[in-house]
Structure 1
Amino acid sequence: MPARLLTRFLAFASLFRWAQAAVVPFELHLSHGEADPVGAGSRRVILINGTFVGPTLRLTQGDEAEITVRNYMREDTAVHFHGIAQASTPWSDGVPGLTQGMIKPGASFVYRWTAEEGGTYFYHTHVRAQMMDGMYGSIVIENAPQAKRPFALISNDTHERKSMLKAEKHMQTLLISDWTRFTSSEFTAVEAAANVDLACMDAITVNGIGSEYCLSIEELDSMTHPVVLSMLHDLGEKHLTNKGCIPPFPVFQGDFDLHLENLPDRAYKKCIPGINPKGNFSLDVDTSVGYAAITFINPGSLYPLQVSIDSHDLHIFAVDGHYVHPQTVDRILVNTGSRISVMIKLDQKPANYNIRIANDYLNQVLGAFAELAYDGTSKKAVDAIPKMDFAGRPLNQNITSWIPEHSRPFPDVKPARHADALFRLTLKKLGRPHGAYEWTLTGKERYHESLDDVKNPNDPLLLSAPSDIPESELLLRTSSEQWVDVVLVTLGPFAQAHPMHKHGNRIFLIGSGGGDFPWKSVDEAMTVLPEGTFNLENPPYLDTFNTIEIQGGDVNATWTMVRYEVSAPGAWLFHCHVQTHLSGGMGMIILDGVDNFPEVPMEYQEWNGFKQTAVGWV
């Protein structure tokens, strides 16, 4: 079914449900506080309703969310609802300068949107790198009873399908994130002082709980990839740092004047062991149900994370909130910004099983643990079979792995066969005279969250007529109901994958390859490239996707092609979800549907979403 028809069908099918939709109010109070999630020393974080991390927001498909955010901090902020469809409420997307002004200290803002689609999502700040300070939480929207689910493709047993339905109704979320003892402002200040792209973290947390593991040199050596060990020796080093990191070698930073003498020891070298007093986060599961439904959400700053559960298969059934054709695997990759939903069959001996999480990049040996506790037991499983080690390496050659780019939407939904426009983006470091930590999506300009070169952050673009918005390298324009291709060319020599997120709507990931993309259209490229390079039949349907990295050899660039329908007019952000890359400039603006730009309600033009009524402000 084409995406446009699917969207209209879902909207039509929901009309009767929406007619009786409940307004579900939430209050999010933001404040600064101290937290020590890994037992290695506290630091300042952002608390949401007094907790680190934020509470889960639960709704039912068709509900109308009304979320009042009150800023008790001494800095500006805003809240974005990652992956939530905002076609009818683009003023509630939560991006200062695009859809709203900043929420000033002492001020409040009311976000309103309809839960048009079921699934698991999350909310987080979109100001500087505040996510690194813990400003995030999960959103669970229960799908309507009549939604078509893929559980029959996991099991054809009627009882088991009923068990999966019950498990989904009690969806549990695990927010898995890298953690640093630096605050977000300290982290970016270290980058600027040393002129480095800092890539070394302290720990991984699960729902705000973790431990900082300081391994011995022998242990680190045993888990270091052979290619990394060889490279270290070639560059005059014998080992990773005490934190398990590759040192900031100039060859990997690029052609910049580095000031490594300004790096504090704790940036790369100093490891402080710690254990959260609560121990590992324990996820209690009810064996009487037969299955558990879990969504792994990565709101982290830098790292994609591998996940496995000892002695248990992972039945993937949704990605980024949308059902997919199920796949059964041993471990999954969760990129920053992604949400992967799995069914776990509770068919093992009643015990407590390790959930293993590990950094997927080779730059640092970093792992963590949580626990899958049958009926809340603390008794450890003595004969559990682990799937991967602390560094994320498979423990046998038969381990099956999965990445979001392998998913297929369920029910089937496909893009148009041909696009109306193609935009080319160039992903790279800006190079001199800019810093080693500054990035670009255009190949020329960096995105400033202040938007000084386009608009004031407190005078959002959504309030302007598109014709009044000046042209910019950082701005693309589309027309309503167009199908648009965006090709992202990542330049080397050490080009990493970038987790890209488009606000406003999902995209189809239709192709990728090595080298440049010199063609003017996908149609033209298909006449040259090998058959199968592009998938227009059942491509992944995502809101966050990874570009491909350079695998070595003589290739000094890669390209990734996505296609989407302009079905949500508005001012949308498109950016890398690595927090230091976004704060370093890796973002841009897409003005979708400039011929049908939305009219913003008065309460969002003037009053931060509060409505004036006969009895006061609501």
Structure 2
Amino acid sequence: MLRKLVSGLAWATILPFSLSLDSPRQFQLTVTWENRSPDGFSRNMILVNGQSPGPAIEINEGEEVWVTVLNQMPFPTTMHYHGIEMLNTPWSDGVPGVTQREIPPGGSFLYKWKATQYGAYWYHAHRHGQLDDGQYGPLTIHPKENTPTPFSLISQDRNTITAIENAVANAKPIQLTEWRHLPSDDIRKIEIAANMEVPCYDSLLINGKGKVDCWSANKTASLLSPEQKQLLAIIPGINSMTAKSCLPAVIDAKVIAAGFPTNISGIPPQIFDICTPTTGSQTVIEIKKGESESTARNGTTWVALNVIGAYSTITTTFSIDELPMWVYAVDGEYIIPQLVNAITITNGDRYSVLVQLNTVGDYTIRHASTLPVQLIAGQATLSYRDGREPVPKNQTSKPYINEGGTALAPTVVFYNQTMQKAFPPSPVADNADQTFILTMGNTDAAYKWALNGTSQPQTLDVDNPILFKPQPNLLNNLTITTRNNTWIDLIFVATHIPQPAHPIHKHSTKMWLIGSGHGVFKWPSVAAAKQEIPQSFNLVDPPKRDGFSTLDASRGPTWTAVRYHVTNPGAWFLHCHIQSHLLGGMSIVIQDGIDHWPTTPPEYLNYKG
């Protein structure tokens, strides 16, 4: 496989550097709090090196990486490198209270780690709701030479494979986010005052650009799903979504609050009921035929895209009009490719896709929310040009999905995670050494969430990270402890009804999704459950990822089982990646490999900012 060797700094910094591949690859990320208008509405937000998303970090597998984060904001922050295993460097994982102390205003922090993986990743804030305020950016690790690739399963023509390899070496990031016109701290205060979450957004962005669309009542009504129609019928006299195409707050209070008392008078009208359209802006990804080695001899051009779900809350359908996508990697690792028209994407997901371009023109990139709480969509443009061919006049590309995220024809093929197979195969152990059954749900308020019964933020000490003071015998609702080189089963059970699917992310270690089902998980282990319901498990070739969505529990209990191998001792965060759930406490810390606990270097142990 052709490898894109990157050297030096990805952008101008004040740090010294060397072009030697034996020297650390050094980057500087400066975070600031400034006024910008990504969707046409101005508000203060977080910029990374003056932009959001932040600049792309590109490195080669095997390199040492140094990232200096300079905090020029009026409040503390940290930076997490999502999906990076941080092998033997847990102090660079970026979680306050777990692996580091916060970076104070005016302070800096040097994250040192080794790129032991390849693939598509991203970096983002891991303090409060700062991800929602724009602190994120793409991260790509180019694989070592001779890394096995699955591209011969897409084409056996050597010239085409070479074009694909070159496209992959120059993959373009697409970061998908939702956006609000109020900062995350203000939203959190509103949720606490209302005693409920407020999952209604102003716009969807692609690579930091978008606009506010205010749909007519007729358009919104035409896009309603059967579930949304049922929800609107809960309260007599209410039969339509709000001006923002959201479920009315009074219905959210009944459904999302799950029986807890609420105070919807504490929610400003602009959250649910007021929509003011903007012209905004749109991301355009330009591809020029013949200007790169990704054009094959048959005249077709290949483009690779790293699609990153940098969402706070929602799940979407993603597609590109008229252009099927070969999904060739998921969460940074190669898979047996799937040819699809659409992909369901949620918080933290990364899908690497290849698109074959044959005809010049503009093709609309779409993502549309599939959660019942709101109908909202966003767009960008993939522009394919050839200087020798005229662009079709008044061209409008034909979509695979509508603005409700629903397929427009029965022939539209969605990515199938159940059929996801690692390339090359990545076997999972037949049995686990330990099993932890983790309950999910609200605690004493609708905005408070728990993973294993207790809301985490109440006890996490940002001044004394768990990495610095492990407790070998600790086993409680906030922390679980494992031994090195053992296999662990985590079984996530949703017994409090209703509750949504939760995108669960484990830091450091990828997990295998070995089973899931509806109903109560009544067994002490997977082994016991497998004897009664073997059809619910796959221990032969299950999907492997660093994040999985649990099954939706809107109508009854559900369970999801994952298995992982303890190979990287340290304190690692396990949490729901929905930001309001994380802020509400839906997280635990895993003390992995307590018998081989790493010694934290003095510069991290004694860090004060």
TM-score when normalising by structure 2: 0.91
CA positional deviation for 1:435: 2.2
Identify the residue that residue 426 of structure 1 maps to in structure 2: 439
Distance 1:89 1:357, change over 3 A: same
**Residue of structure 2 aligned with 1:464, choices 469, 477, 497:** 469
Cα 1:376/1:272, change in 2 over 3 Å: farther
Distance 1:107 1:405, change over 3 A: farther
**1:402 and 2:396 correspond:** no
Cα distance in 2 for residues equivalent to 1:417 and 1:394: 38
| Helix, strand or coil at the partner of 1:209 | coil
Aligned to 1:453: 459
1:295 alignment partner, one of 291, 306, 314: 306
> Does 2:346 match 1:335?
yes
- 2:316 alignment partner in structure 1: 305
Q: Mean alpha-carbon deviation: is it higher for 257-266 or for 209-218?
A: 257-266
Question: Equivalents in 2 of 1:155, 1:28: separation in Å?
Answer: 40
Task: Specify which of 402, 415, 430 is matched with residue 428 of structure 2.
Answer: 415
Give the match's secondary structure for 1:598: coil
Instruction: Determine the C-alpha separation between the residues in 2 that align with 1:405 and 1:594.
Output: 33
Q: CA deviation at 1:251?
A: 2.4
Q: Which runs of 5+ in 1 are unaligned?
A: 1-18, 610-618
Instruction: Find the residue that maps to 1:59 and give its secondary structure.
Output: strand
User: C-alpha separation between the residues in 1 aligned to 2:392 and 2:315?
Assistant: 30
Quote the residue 1:504 is aligned against: 508
Write out per-residue CA displacement over residues 268-324 of structure 1, whole angstroms, 9 at most, x where no aligned residue: 111110122xx3211112433221000110111101121111110010000000111
User: What corresponds to 2:13 in structure 1?
Assistant: none
- Alignment correspondent of 2:30: 29
Letter in 2 for 1:238: N
1:388 corresponds, among 396, 401, 410, to 401
Amino acid at match of 1:226: P
Counterpart among 363, 381, 406 of residue 371 in structure 1: 381
1:295 partner letter:
N
* Code of the aligned partner of 1:461: I
1:266 CA displacement: 1.1
Q: Within 5 Å, which residues of 2 pair with 1:148-297?
A: 148-236=148-236, 237-248=238-249, 249=251, 250-252=253-255, 253-276=257-280, 279-288=281-290, 289=294, 290-297=301-308
Matching of residues 47-86 of structure 1 within 5 Å? 47-86=47-86
C-alpha contact 1:359 1:367 (8 A) present in aligned 2:
yes
Aligned equivalent of 2:365:
355
Alpha-carbon contact 2:87-2:114 (below 8 Å) kept? no
Tell me the residue number matched to 1:126.
Answer: 126
| Alpha-carbon distance between aligned partners in 2 of 1:320 and 1:259, rounded to the nearest angstrom | 39
Q: 1:330 to 1:472 in 2, by over 3 A?
A: same
Query: In structure 2, what is the Cα distance between the partners aligned to 1:107 and 1:91?
Result: 17
Local SS of the residue matching 1:211: coil
Structure 1, 503-512 or 245-254: larger mean CA deviation: 245-254
Q: Give the structure 2 partner of residue 9 of structure 1.
A: none
Q: Which moved more, 1:224-233 or 1:322-331?
A: 224-233
**2:305 aligned partner, one-letter code:** I
1:604 and 2:604 are equivalent in the alignment: yes
Task: Return the alpha-carbon distance in structure 1 between the equivalents of residues 407 and 115 of structure 2.
Answer: 39
Spell out, residue by residue over 1:486-515, the C-alpha distance to the aligned partner (whole angstroms, 9 max, x if none): 000012422211000000110000000011
Check the 8 A contact 2:497/2:554 in 1, yes or no. no
Per the alignment, residue 355 of structure 2 pairs with 344
Structure 1 residue 235: Cα displacement = 1.6
- Residues 540-580 of structure 1, C-alpha deviations (whole Å, 9 max, x = no match): 1100111011364xxx2100000000001000000000001
Comparing 264-273 with 245-254, greater Cα deviation is found at: 245-254
Residue matched to 1:8: none
- Give the secondary structure class of the aligned counterpart of 1:159: helix
Name the structure 2 match of 1:613.
none
> Any conservation in 1 of the 2:77–2:102 contact (CA below 8 Å)?
yes
Total equivalences in the alignment: 574
The answer as to whether partners of 1:405 and 1:509 remain within 8 angstroms in 2 is: no
Query: What's the CA shift for 1:355?
Result: 0.6
How far, CA to CA, are the matches of 1:405 and 1:303 in structure 2?
21
Given residue 453 of structure 1, which amino acid in structure 2 is its aligned partner? Answer: T
SS of aligned partner of 1:68: strand
Kept after mapping to 1: 8 A contact 2:78/2:103: yes
Which range is displaced more, 191-200 or 417-426? Answer: 191-200
Note the C-alpha offset of 1:461: 1.4
Q: Which runs of 5+ in 2 are unaligned?
A: 1-19, 295-300
Higher alpha-carbon deviation: 597-606 or 474-483:
597-606
Match of 2:488 in 1: 484
Deviation, 1:476, is 0.2
Cα pair 2:474 2:481 within 8 Å, conserved: no
- Could you tell me which residue of structure 1 aligns to residue 546 of structure 2? 543
Map Cα deviations across residues 399-428 of structure 1 (whole Å, 9 max, x no partner): 111254542111101110010010000011
Quick one: distance in 2 between partners of 1:121 and 1:223? 33
d(CA) in 1 for partners of 2:198 and 2:393? 37
Measured after TM superposition, the shift of residue 381 of structure 1 is 6.9
CA contact (8 A) 2:289 2:386 kept: no
Question: Residue 167 of structure 1 contacts residue 292 of structure 1 at CA under 8 Å; is this kept in 2?
Answer: yes
8 Å Cα contact 1:334/1:403 also seen in 2: no
SS in 2 for 1:466: coil
Correspondence 1:575 to 2:575: yes
- Go from structure 1 to structure 2 and tell me whether the alpha carbon gap of 1:213 and 1:465 turns closer, same or farther (over 3 Å shift): closer
Q: Distance in 2 between matches of 1:182 and 1:261?
A: 18
1:517 and 1:220, CA in 2 relative to 1: closer, same or farther beyond 3 A?
A: same
* Amino acid paired to 1:254: A
**Cα–Cα, structure 1 residues 586 and 465, in superposed 2: closer, same or farther, change >3 Å?**
closer
Using structure 1 for the length normalisation, give the TM-score: 0.90
Q: Matches of 2:418 and 2:509 in 1, distance apart?
A: 17
Pairwise CA distance, 1:340: 0.6
Conserved? CA contact 1:108–1:608, under 8 Å? no
Distance, in Å, in 2 between the alignment partners of 1:210 and 1:259 is 32
4+ residue segments displaced more than 6 Å: 376-381
1:95 equivalent in structure 2? 95
TM-align CA RMSD: 1.7
Aligned residue type for 1:304: T
| Aligned-partner Cα distance in 1 for 2:328–2:30 | 33
Q: CA deviation at 1:372?
A: 0.5
Return closer, same or farther for 1:427/1:405 CA change in 2, 3 Å cut-off.
Answer: farther
Matches of 2:396 and 2:604, distance apart in 1 = 58
Query: 1:14 — aligned with what?
Result: none
Partner secondary structure for residue 27 of structure 1: strand
Three-state SS of the structure 1 residue aligned to 2:536 is coil
CA distance in 2, matches of 1:174, 1:42: 23
Verify the 8 A CA contact 1:495 1:557 in the aligned structure 2.
no
SS of the residue corresponding to residue 212 of structure 1 reads coil
Within 1, Cα distance between the matches of 2:285 and 2:467? Answer: 42
